[in-house]
Amino acid sequence: MRVPGLRSSEKKLGQLKAVFHDKEAWQKMDPETIVYQVWSWEPVPAGTEGGLFWGGTEIQPGCVGNEYFMTHGHRHAIVNRAEFYGTTVGQGKLVLRDESGRVWSEEMKPGSLHYIPGRVAHRVVNTGGVPLRFVACWPSDAGHDYEIAGGKGLGARVLQRNGEPVFEIIPDAVA
């Protein structure tokens, strides 16, 4: 049976230079390395008001320098649109930033469910040693805006220190 609206995409290291802070470490790595893949079911055309999209994401374990592999991160193009994330496999952190510049994180582990309110930018970081998998459900007209905080990004990083993930605020990127 052909199911309409099934999509898949992958993000490779070469496409993610902007998001990792250690450009020297990034330069030394293979740009063809797959960092994450997304599978989505989009039963109505993107931009349709009132519909829902469903997706699965798998982020590989790894680091660029001391920074864990992560998604690019985005806000919704229609900013008031919310989203659910639910973790199925692995360990990670969901990094969130609201419009006032407040940044915080939530622990992701199998069974954890995360409500991402509208206007809140979001990114997932794989802090474990196995692929991190989560499912997502978002409105079909939400869209993606990758210019978070005028290009400043989320204002926080998840770094590996003594083998442990540490959530660090970047002071000059926070409003």
Angle at 166 between CA 163 and CA 167, to 5 degrees: 160
Distance CA 122, CA 64 (A): 20
Binding ligand M6P (rule: CB under 6 A), the pick from 13, 35, 64, 71 is 71
Q: Count Cβ atoms below 10 Å from residue 149 Cβ, excluding itself.
A: 17
- Shortest distance (Å) from residue 83 CB to ligand M6P: 6
Distance CA 141, CA 145 (A): 12
Q: How far is CA 156 from CA 43, 92, 97, in A?
A: 34, 15, 9
Q: Count Cβ atoms below 10 Å from residue 26 Cβ, excluding itself.
A: 19
**Cβ nearer to ligand M6P, comparing 28 with 133:** 133
Compute the chain's Rg from CA coordinates.
16
Residue 84 three-state SS: strand
**Cβ nearer to ligand M6P, comparing 71 with 126:** 71
Within 100-119, the residues that bind ligand M6P by CB under 6 A are: none
Stretch that binds ligand M6P, among 21-29, 66-74, 101-109, 147-155 (CB under 6 A): 66-74
Does 83 bind Zn ion (CB under 5 A)? Our answer is yes
Binding ligand M6P (rule: CB under 6 A), the pick from 33, 62, 74, 119 is 74
Q: Which residue has the tokens 């590989």?
A: 60
Does 57 bind ligand M6P (CB under 6 A)? Our answer is yes
**Cβ nearer to Zn ion, comparing 84 with 167:** 84
Binding ligand M6P (rule: CB under 6 A), the pick from 21, 72, 119, 152 is 72
Which residue ranges make up the site for ligand M6P (CB under 6 A)?
Answer: 38, 55, 57, 71-74, 83, 136, 138, 144
